[in-house]
């Protein structure tokens, strides 16, 4: 008995001296990643976007729209009616099951195996380069290189939004997130635009310090004017830029930088909110997850290229978590969810993150 007591004291003293072993927070998910490339059916390794539609997975690549179904890849290209081979963005109409694909040459709707494409020549699309698309009810909201637009699928009417009827200075819209209450546009060099569905009024959120390279006033507004992606969920706006990220609850802002958060890089290509507190950040140096308190980063080590996962707690302590796999590449361009799993679009393949208990 005395010996057991002494051993317990010794173990306790070791913990005090060296610290307890890192424990993975319950909210930090672990994944086993499997990746798809041209070697196993993907039409191109450069994947711009990914969309989960139940058991079907859509991938927008540089060389066609790919569908993964029943463990087999099928590719749709211009010969099938796709507006352009480079597919930049994807959205699902949950009412009809239609998939909308924004491409470098127009907007395409995939409906019951048939593809219909909209361009500047045959519709009211404001520009053929479609960076973002979002479906809200019977409306399809589109972000293009020459402003935004809205297509009503019931009336077939187009409405254009640009510098003439909105507060945007630049018309290069890079992303859009629509809901019944609000619609948000991410505008390259012109901040974040908000459209109130009830009043039909626009509002604009700018970087308060007006600086291009540095952040002078943290948490006083949008972190930067170059907004690359926006996600509106549960009344919260998540905005991504090439100089950090922002969260806005309608009253106050909270900004994220690598120096004071778990972001692996301030250069963020895409952001997707889960709810009011959680979001995923697709950066040029890996994939990051924020649960409202702690951060997790999934990537290949910048030092030796081996798969790694790290967790940063609320106090800024960073601990490694043992993993055997990582997303296909650290340059991450998109993400979507399939239950507890994630699908990740990267510059060198599409990865399926299978949740590990």
Q: Mean pLDDT throughout 8-14? A: 35
Dump pLDDT digits (tens) for 43-57: 999 999 999 999 999
Dump pLDDT digits (tens) for 171-215: 999 999 999 999 999 999 999 999 999 999 999 999 876 655 556
Give the Cα separation of 336 and 48 in Å (integer): 12
Percent of the chain's residues with pLDDT above 70: 90
pLDDT value for 216:
66
Q: Mean pLDDT throughout 88-97? A: 97
Mean pLDDT score across all residues of the chain: 91
Q: How many CB atoms lie within 10 A of CB 187?
A: 29
Domains delineated in the chain? 33-356 (2.130.10.10)
For 137-180, where are the E strands, in sequence order?
Answer: 139-144, 147-152, 157-161, 173-178
The answer to whether 88 and 64 are in contact (CB under 8 A) is no
Band of the pLDDT at 113, cuts 50, 70, 90?
A: confident
pLDDT value for 20:
37
Give the Cα separation of 63 and 117 in Å (integer): 17
Q: Mean pLDDT throughout 29-53? A: 98
Band of the pLDDT at 9, cuts 50, 70, 90?
A: very low
Task: Judge residue 207's burial from the number of C-beta atoms within 10 Å of its C-beta, 0-12 exposed, 13-18 middle, 19 or more buried.
Answer: buried
pLDDT value for 25:
53
pLDDT value for 219:
83
């Amino acid at each position: 008995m005395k010996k057991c007591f002494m051993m317990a004291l010794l173990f306790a003293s070791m913990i005090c001296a060296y610290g307890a072993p890192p424990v993975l927070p319950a909210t930090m998910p672990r994944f086993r990643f499997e990746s798809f490339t041209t070697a196993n059916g993907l039409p191109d390794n450069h994947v711009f976007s990914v969309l989960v539609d139940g058991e079907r997975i859509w991938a927008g690549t540089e060389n066609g729209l790919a569908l993964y179904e029943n463990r087999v890849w099928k590719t749709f290209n211009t010969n099938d009616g796709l507006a352009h081979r480079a597919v930049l963005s994807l959205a699902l109409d949950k009412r009809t099951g239609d998939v909308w694909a924004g491409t470098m040459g127009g907007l395409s709707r995939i409906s019951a195996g048939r593809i219909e494409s909209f361009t500047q020549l045959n519709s009211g699309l404001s520009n053929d380069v479609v960076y973002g698309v979002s479906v809200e009810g019977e409306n399809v909201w589109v972000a293009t290189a020459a402003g935004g637009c809205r297509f009503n699928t019931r009336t077939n009417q187009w409405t254009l939004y640009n510098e003439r009827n909105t507060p945007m200075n630049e018309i290069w819209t890079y992303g859009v997130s629509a809901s019944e209450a609000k619609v948000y546009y991410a505008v390259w060099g012109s901040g974040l635009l908000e459209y109130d569905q009830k009043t039909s009024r626009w509002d604009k959120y700018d970087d308060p310090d007006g600086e291009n390279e540095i952040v002078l006033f943290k948490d006083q507004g949008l972190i930067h004017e170059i907004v690359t992606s926006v996600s509106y969920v549960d009344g919260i706006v998540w905005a991504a830029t090439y100089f950090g990220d922002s969260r806005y609850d309608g009253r106050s802002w909270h900004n994220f930088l690598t120096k004071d958060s778990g972001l692996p890089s301030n250069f963020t290509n895409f952001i997707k909110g889960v709810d009011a507190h959680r979001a995923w950040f697709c950066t040029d140096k890996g994939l990051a997850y924020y649960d409202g308190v702690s951060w997790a980063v999934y990537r290949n080590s910048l030092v030796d290229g081996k798969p790694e996962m790290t967790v940063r707690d609320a106090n800024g302590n960073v601990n490694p978590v043992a993993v055997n796999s990582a997303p296909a590449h650290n340059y991450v361009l998109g993400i979507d969810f399939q239950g507890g799993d994630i699908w990740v679009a990267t510059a060198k393949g599409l990865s399926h993150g299978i949740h590990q208990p």
